[in-house]
Chain A
Amino acid sequence: MSNSTQAKTMYEKLWQQHIVEEKSGETPLLYVDRHLIHEVTSPQAFANLKFHNRPIRHPERTIATMDHNISTRSIKIDAAGEGAANQLRTLEKNCKEFGIELFGMGHKNQGIVHVIGPELGLTLPGTIIVCGDSHTATHGAFGALAFGIGTSEVEHVFATQTLRQTKAKTMKIEVNGQVGTGISAKDIILAIIGKTGSAGATGYVVEYCGSAIEALSMEERMTVCNMSIEFGAKAGLIAPDQTTFDYLEGKEYSPKGDIWQQAVADWKLLKTDQGAEFDTILTLKAEEIKTQITWGTTPGQVTSVDSTVPSPDDFSEQVEKDSCAAALTYMGLTAGTKITDISINKVFIGSCTNSRIEDLRAAAGIVEKYQAQGKSVSAKVDAIVVPGSYRVKAQAEAEGLDKIFSDAGFEWRLPGCSMCLGMNDDVLEAGDRCASTSNRNFEGRQGRGSRTHLVSPELAAASAIAGHFVDLNNL
Chain B
Amino acid sequence: MDKFNKHTGLVVPLDAANVDTDQIIPKQFLQKTERVGFGKHLFHDWRYLDISGNESNPDFILNKPQYQGASILLTRENFGCGSSREHAPWALEEYGFKVIIAPSFADIFYGNCINIGLLPIKLSEQQINELFDKSDESSLSLTIDLINNNVTFDKTVYNFSLDSFHQYCLEQGVDSVGWTLNKLEKIKEYEAKMSPWQ
Q: Which residues of A contact B (CB under 8 A)?
A: 20-21, 25-27, 29, 31, 33, 40-41, 43-44, 47, 52, 54, 57, 69, 81, 83-84, 86-87, 90, 124, 126-127, 132-134, 136, 147-153, 155-156, 159-162, 164, 166, 168, 198-199, 202-203, 229, 232, 234, 255, 259-260, 262-263, 266, 298, 319, 322-323, 326, 421-423, 440, 442-445, 448
Contact yes or no, B187 A152, CB < 8 A: no
- Offer 25 A-B interface pairs, CB within 8 angstroms, sorted by A: A25-B165, A29-B183, A41-B86, A43-B33, A44-B33, A44-B34, A44-B35, A84-B31, A86-B33, A126-B198, A148-B108, A150-B111, A153-B115, A156-B176, A159-B180, A160-B180, A160-B184, A255-B196, A298-B20, A319-B17, A326-B16, A421-B27, A422-B28, A444-B45, A448-B51
Q: Which of B3-11, B76-84, B136-144 contacts A (4 or more CB under 8 A)?
A: B76-84
**Chain B residues within 8 Å of A448, by CB:** 26, 45, 51
Once A84-B31, A133-B84 are accepted as A-B contacts, the answer to whether A52 and B177 lie under 8 Å apart by CB is yes
Chain A residues near B177 (CB-CB < 8 A) = 52, 54, 155-156, 159-160
Q: Closest approach, in angstroms, between the C-beta of B49 and any C-beta of chain A?
A: 11
The residue from A47, A162, A203, A442 contacting B107, defined by CB atoms under 8 A apart: A203
**Sample of 10 more A-B contacts, CB < 8 Å, known A20-B183, A31-B194, A33-B198:** A44-B35, A54-B181, A69-B31, A87-B31, A90-B33, A134-B108, A148-B83, A153-B112, A255-B197, A444-B26
Measured CA separation A423–B87 after assembly (Å): 14
B64 contacts the other chain (Cβ, under 8 Å)? no
B residues sitting closer than 8 Å to A (CB atoms) are 16-18, 20, 22-23, 26-28, 30-35, 45, 51, 76-78, 81-87, 89, 104-108, 111-112, 115-116, 163-166, 168, 176-178, 180-181, 183-184, 186-187, 189-191, 194-198
Complex Cα spacing A229 to B78, Å: 12
Q: Is the CB of B83 within 8 A of A134?
A: yes
Inside 8 A of B196's CB, which chain A residues have their CB?
A: 255, 259, 262
Give the CA-CA distance A168 to B32 in the complex, in Å: 32
The one of A20, A83, A132 that contacts B84, using a Cβ cutoff of 8 Å: A132
How many A-B pairs with Cβ below 8 Å?
Answer: 188
**Contacts of A260 on B, CB cut-off 8 Å?**
197
Measured in the bound complex, the distance between the Cα atoms of B84 and A454 in whole Å is 20
Instruction: Indicate if the CB atoms of A161 and B195 lie closer than 8 Å.
Output: no
- Smallest distance from the beta carbon of A339 to chain B beta carbons, Å? 22
Q: Are A199 and B104 in contact (CB under 8 A)?
A: yes
A319 CB to closest chain B CB (Å) equals 5
With beta carbons under 8 angstroms apart, the residue of B26, B30, B111 that contacts A153 is B111
Q: Known contacts A43-B33, A86-B33; decide if A198 and B18 are in contact (CB<8 Å).
A: yes
Given contacts A44-B33, A83-B31, A259-B197, contact A442 B20 (CB under 8 A): yes
Residues on B with C-beta less than 8 A from A86 are 31, 33
Q: Cα distance A202–B111 when bound, in Å?
A: 13
CB of A141 to closest CB in B, whole Å: 18
Q: Could you say which residues of chain A place their CB within 8 Å of the CB of B108?
A: 134, 147-150, 229
Is the beta-carbon distance between A20 and B186 smaller than 8 angstroms? yes
Cβ of A202: which chain B residues have Cβ within 8 Å of it? 78, 104-107
Given A21-B186, A29-B183, A421-B27, residue A152 in contact with residue B86 (CB < 8 A): yes
In whole Å, how far is B141's beta carbon from the nearest beta carbon of chain A? 26
Report the bound CA distance from A147 to B108 in whole Å: 9
Contact A152 B104 (CB under 8 A): no
Residues of A within 8 A of B197 (CB): 124, 126, 255, 259-260, 262-263, 266
User: Lowest 9 CB-CB distances: which A-B pairs, in order?
Assistant: A83-B31, A150-B86, A150-B112, A263-B197, A148-B84, A43-B33, A199-B78, A152-B115, A151-B86
Q: Are B27 and A134 neighbours in the complex by a CB distance under 8 Å?
A: no
In the bound complex, do residue A87 and residue B165 qualify as a contact, i.e. CB atoms below 8 Å apart? no
Residue picked from B18, B104, B115, B189, most chain A C-beta under 10 Å: B18
CA A421 to CA B33, docked complex, whole Å: 18
Q: Name the one of A162, A229, A322 contacting B17, with C-beta atoms under 8 angstroms.
A: A322
- Which of B16, B76, B81, B84: most chain A CB closer than 10 A? B84
B78 touches A29 (CB 8 A): no
Q: Is the CB of A150 within 8 A of B84?
A: yes
Determine the residue in chain A with the shortest Cβ distance to B29: A83
Distance between A138 CB and nearest chain B CB, rounded to angstroms: 13
Question: Contact: B85 with A162, CB < 8 Å?
Answer: no
The CA of A84 and the CA of B17, in the complex, are separated in Å by 32
* Residue in B31, B51, B181 whose beta carbon sits within 8 Å of that of A423 in the complex: B31
CB distance from A237 to the nearest CB of B (A): 16
Partner of A443, one of B22, B186, B194: B22
* A279→B177 CA distance, assembly (Å): 32
Bound complex: CA of A442 vs CA of B191, how far in Å?
A: 41
CB–CB A27/B195 < 8 A: no
Inter-chain contacts of A326 with B (CB < 8 A): 16
A26 touching B26 by the CB < 8 A rule? no
Query: Which B residues are CB-close (under 8 A) to A150?
Result: 84-86, 89, 108, 111-112, 115
Contact A164 B176 (CB under 8 A): yes
